[in-house]
């Protein structure tokens, strides 16, 4: 069963944006900290995931069907092409590495600056107060590998600064952070792409439509 939910909050979890970021990666405890040996056939898998941000035109929101998009997701490029027909699309986050299915967490991130206050000095110079916010995505993976694939639970949480803010005082805007959650639980065949979709309806407007996040994920066998 696919699950997806979207909310707005100033609570941020980290990770990696494809364009122009310097990632900081941390890994979860995995099997070693649990006193277990990691067997390539039983506890390891190659995990690949790419998340796209899509500015969906209002008339195309109905095209955000996970099953239909999965049929066009043989490669990241083919999915990106299909999404571009729905709205302006750009890769937002990505991960490609071996994961320990006993329990693994991939946490990559960066800090984005934004202006929180502006004042005029005695000399008439404009002075900005800058704050930094952690943004990105957090991948949690846990499950078991079999001969044909994995029985796995994947949880993805993302955060990003929005284009605008909320005015809290004359001339001062508080930055709004968009948070998104995507989830997948159940069997996944090795090499078969799965697609998860979350649409932020609160970001919808007449000019730009809605903001959607589409994730293509693939598990591959790790050979001994």
- Name the nearest CA neighbour of 82 among 60, 103, 102, 98: 60
Q: Is the pLDDT of residue 206 over 60?
A: no
First to last CA, the chain: 31
Please tell me the least confidently modeled range out of 54-58, 73-77, 111-115, 161-165. 161-165
Q: In whole angstroms, give the CA distance from residue 126 to residue 158.
A: 34
Domain boundaries defined on the chain: 6-221
Question: Each residue of 122-152: b (16+ CB within 10 Å) or e?
Answer: eeeeeeeeeeebebbbbbbbbbebeeebbeb
Please tell me the least confidently modeled range out of 69-78, 86-95, 117-126. 117-126
Q: How far is CA 91 from CA 18, 49, 70, 212, 216, in A?
A: 7, 11, 17, 12, 11
Give the pLDDT band (50/70/90) at residue 192: very high
Q: Give just the sign of the alpha carbon dihedral 160, 166, 169, 173.
A: positive
Rg of the chain on CA atoms, in Å: 20
pLDDT digits (tens, 9 = 90+) for 133-155: 777 889 999 999 988 999 999 99
CA-angle at 25, arms to 20 and 30, nearest 5°: 150
Evaluate whether 87 touches 54 at the Cβ level (below 8 Å).
yes
Give the pLDDT band (50/70/90) at residue 182: very high
Whether the predicted model's global pTM rises above the 0.85 cut = no
pLDDT digits (tens, 9 = 90+) for 3-45: 443 333 333 333 333 333 334 344 444 433 333 333 445 689 9
Please tell me the least confidently modeled range out of 59-63, 138-142, 198-202. 198-202
Evaluate whether 137 touches 158 at the Cβ level (below 8 Å).
yes
């Amino acid at each position: 069963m696919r699950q997806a939910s979207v909310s707005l909050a100033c609570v941020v979890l980290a990770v990696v944006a494809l364009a122009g970021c310097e990632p900081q990666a941390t890994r979860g405890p995995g099997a070693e900290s649990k006193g277990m040996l990691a067997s390539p056939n039983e506890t390891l898998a190659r995990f690949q995931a790419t998340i796209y941000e899509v500015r969906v035109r209002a008339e195309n929101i109905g095209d955000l069907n996970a099953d239909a998009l999965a049929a066009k997701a043989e490669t990241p490029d083919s999915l990106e092409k299909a999404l571009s027909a729905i709205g302006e699309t750009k890769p937002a986050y990505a991960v490609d590495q071996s994961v320990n299915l006993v329990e693994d967490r991939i946490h990559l991130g960066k800090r984005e600056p934004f202006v929180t206050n502006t004042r005029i000095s005695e000399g008439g110079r404009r002075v900005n107060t800058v704050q930094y916010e952690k943004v990105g995505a957090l991948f949690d993976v846990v499950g078991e590998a079999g001969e044909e694939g994995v029985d796995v639970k994947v949880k993805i949480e993302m955060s990003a600064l929005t284009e605008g803010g909320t005015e809290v005082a004359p001339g001062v805007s508080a930055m709004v952070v968009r948070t998104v959650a995507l989830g997948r639980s159940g069997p996944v065949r090795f090499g078969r792409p799965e697609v998860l979709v979350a649409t932020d309806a609160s970001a919808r407007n007449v000019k730009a439509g809605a903001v959607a996040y589409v994730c293509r994920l693939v598990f591959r066998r790790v050979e001994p």
